[in-house]
Structure 1
Amino acid sequence: MSVRTAAASTAVAAMLGVCVSLPPAQGQASAAGSAPEVFAHRGASAYAPENTLAAVDAADALGIDWVENDVQLTKDGVPVVMHDTTLSRTTDAEEVFPGRAPWAVGDFTAAEIARLDAGSWFGPRFAGAGVPTLARYLHRVERNRQKLLLEIKSPETHPGIERGTLRVLREEGWLDPGHVRQRLVIQSFGAESVKTVHAQRPDVVTGFLGTPAVADLPSYATFTDQINPSYTTIGADYVAAVQRLKGAHGKPMRVNTWTVNDAGKATEVAGFGVDGIITNNPDVVRDATR
């Protein structure tokens, strides 16, 4: 992790109520390249409400470089950070806006979504945590010097989301060479969405969420750099088949698998040779695979 001190990590963790498992001291980690990268799924979502700034900070407190999050568009075209296509599960939208079922993200303006509590469902200490705009989320990730795996969510229900997302990334400085080379990946379950991102910003690293047939992998390699499948759908042979190909930027394709939350399964998929593991419990996965 980039220059984190144990004291700072412990302090932030205490503030969030996180049980910290600190990363190994320098010189004690396993050999470079032997352990998969760890991605905090929707932030460290085992310890703080998913896709909130608190979850970003929880990942930071645990010493995790990479955070994953989801982006959607509001009714007025503002990218916001939210996983579900409806607001019901992780906010108080039903109480604040009764009668507006099914409470779809795209049916509310950014100002309306800003009124919602996205933390109380997880625990009382997170009461009042908001749904961050993508811009606000980027500010926090930047402040923490973290990296971002950004999922374009449900692109079929948000026409133009790729352009809108790239616009905010550009405005917030996340499309400069340093971010593009080392700190940003954009992924989606929608192949057409990934193709769109690649066409609009060919320099950006992209990932496809899913498990295409091995015979189809060469076609994916023309527009993406990563194949990011569920851990339940892969084995060592599949991972090797992906990694034998060169992706859109001429480098070996990577495999980041999801969502692995226990040590035993993390050890198993690490044995498949995956490049990364996406997890709600990033400390558990990190410690199991180092």
Structure 2
Amino acid sequence: MGSKQLEQHFLLGGWRRVENTFNWPRLWRKISGNRFNLLILLVIIALSPPFFFHFRLRHFQQMQLKSCGWIANPPLVCAHGGDSINAFPNTMAAYHSALLARVDCIEIDVSRSADGILFALHDRDLQRVSANHTARVGFWSKKDINELDASLHFPGVRDDQKVPTVEDALMLVSNRVRLVILDAKVGPPLYEKGLAKDILAVVEKTNCFNCIVWAKNDPLLREVSRLSPDTSVGYIIMKDPTTGLRSNVLRMKTAKVVGVYHPLIDEKLVRLLHGRSKKVFAWTVDDLVSMRDVLSNQVDAVVTSNPSLFQQLMDDTRIQCLEEGFLLP
């Protein structure tokens, strides 16, 4: 075999080895597959920003709705015992301060004295102002209570800081706010005996048509409803101080308002109660973090000792929401 033939033999053999090494149809399919995969990848890359933007926008809108949704139907601002930050709770000074702040609602504590007079007073506040840590309103007479003066606790306040009767308190506030909550306190020695009748008597005497009675004592509320079906009542949801268990959420069909201890409030609870045509009132909400929480859960009213702080938070949040493009429905 000549050198030229030998060269052709080796070249032909090498080409055959190359042909055997590379399966051209399979290689073409692989290249075509890679092109298809590359095309899919390019499509995914092209579509990712719009999808990402869509989901980010949706998440933002959901968060914005949670933070700003209350604006269309803002909760009532209820002053707990009046403006209890700037005056002693349940005094005329506290009520005057709350009225100046233009609150929507005032909560008044209702306790009965030893001689059957209803005072705007809580055992806790009686103990504080009397410096008697075991004092109970039910064992104090009208004369004893009238001698109390809370001005030592708020020396800079010039308004009356005596303890008013519930009648006097209602005469001052009932026609100047949208709602009055009478928070009935059941205590010794008579407990709820005759208390419903006494409360209804003062409500009727003062023509407090915007009064609602609530209490931590369901039998008292049922008695109020029995004696006066037209009087609005509300029951309380809270944690049992001994067991830590939450009280039943759905009870008393006739009650249109439920006062809920604010740490227990979430969207599910609000949705459940609203589904039963009951309004949710959060109590007692005094710090900014808790105020934001109850706002985002879209409760119907917020009972607070610091109504001005809550009003300022609502104003600031409303401005921020509108600046961020939140649209009212």
Q: TM-score range by the shorter chain?
A: 0.7 to 0.9
Partner-residue secondary structure (3-state), 2:183: strand
Tell me how far 1:111 sits from its aligned partner.
Answer: 2.0
Mapping for residues 127-276 of structure 1, pairs under 5 Å: 129-142=161-174, 144-145=176-177, 147-154=179-186, 157-174=191-208, 179=209, 183-211=210-238, 216-218=248-250, 220-245=251-276, 252-276=277-301
Mapping for residues 35-54 of structure 1, pairs under 5 Å: 35-54=74-93
Q: Could you report, residue by residue, the CA deviation over 1:253-274 in whole angstroms, capped at 9, with x for unpaired residues?
A: 0000111123332122111121
Structure 2 CA distance for aligned equivalents of residues 226 and 132 of structure 1:
26
Structure 2 CA distance for aligned equivalents of residues 59 and 143 of structure 1:
14
Q: Is residue 76 of structure 1 aligned with residue 115 of structure 2?
A: yes
- TM-score under structure 2 normalisation? 0.66
Tell me how far 1:154 sits from its aligned partner.
Answer: 2.2
Residue type matched to 1:227 in 2?
V
Question: CA 1:243–1:214 in structure 2 vs 1: closer, same or farther (change >3 Å)?
Answer: farther
The residue that corresponds to 1:107 in the other structure is 139
Unaligned runs of 5+ residues in structure 1 are 1-29, 95-100, 246-251
Residue type matched to 2:228 in 1?
R
The residue that corresponds to 1:92 in the other structure is 130
Question: CA 1:278–1:200 in structure 2 vs 1: closer, same or farther (change >3 Å)?
Answer: same
Matched positions, count: 241
Structure richer in helix, relative to its length: 2
Tell me how far 1:149 sits from its aligned partner.
Answer: 0.8
Structure 2 CA distance for aligned equivalents of residues 280 and 205 of structure 1:
23
- TM-score under structure 1 normalisation? 0.75
Residue type matched to 2:225 in 1?
H
Q: CA RMSD in A?
A: 2.7
Unaligned runs of 5+ residues in structure 2 are 1-68, 240-244, 319-329
Question: CA 1:62–1:155 in structure 2 vs 1: closer, same or farther (change >3 Å)?
Answer: same
Larger Cα-atom Rg: 2
Partner-residue secondary structure (3-state), 2:151: coil
Structure 2 CA distance for aligned equivalents of residues 269 and 59 of structure 1:
21
Tell me how far 1:46 sits from its aligned partner.
Answer: 1.0
Percent identity between the two aligned chains: 24
The residue that corresponds to 1:116 in the other structure is 148
Residue type matched to 1:111 in 2?
K
Q: Could you report, residue by residue, the CA deviation over 1:109-148 in whole angstroms, capped at 9, with x for unpaired residues?
A: 1122111113322335358621101111111114645631
Structure 1 CA distance for aligned equivalents of residues 267 and 175 of structure 2:
37
